[in-house]
Amino acid sequence: MDSTATEILKFNAVGMALLCVRNTCIEDVHSGVVPDTATGDFSDVKVVTPYGKIPWQEVSRITNDEMRAFMKQVVDRLYTVLLRSDDLAFMERMMLYTKRAARNWDEPNNLTDWFTGKWT
């Protein structure tokens, strides 16, 4: 694959991550208060419930309903981008928004050992 095609794919990956994953209901979960930790690993943070304290590392931070809504939004948005990938006006809007909103994001990496079909 030539370098221009690779750069386009990287840009599209960032755009889809931004539009289809980041800008979803996961932002509502992300917008909560993050606790402070003196130890740095949150081992000193506990969630107090009517039934006792739960160590922070053991607390589910997203409910099943929130995860279901998140995955639904991600799938619908990815599907829409894939369906509209030949719509130049749509792709241009995605490009302009991505350039502005994700300009400080890290460049995507090719995870060559990911999803190889080898089950471990």
* 27-52 confidence digits (pLDDT tens): 988 888 889 999 999 999 999 999 99
Domain count, the chain: 1
pLDDT value at 77 more than 80: yes
Domain of 84 in residue numbering reads as 3-30+38-101
Structure tokens, 52? 């006792």
Q: What pLDDT sits at residue 93?
A: 95
Residue 117 lies in a domain: no
Give the pLDDT band (50/70/90) at residue 61.
Answer: confident
Residue 114 lies in a domain: no
The burial of 46, by beta-carbon neighbours within 10 Å (0-12 exposed, 13-18 middle, 19 or more buried), is given as: middle
Residue 113 lies in a domain: no
Residue 24 lies in a domain: yes
Q: Do residues 25 and 69 lie in contact, with contact meaning Cβ atoms separated by under 8 Å?
A: yes
Q: What pLDDT sits at residue 120?
A: 58
Give the pLDDT band (50/70/90) at residue 119.
Answer: low
3-state secondary structure of 42: coil
The more confident residue out of 53 and 115 is 53
Q: What pLDDT sits at residue 88?
A: 96
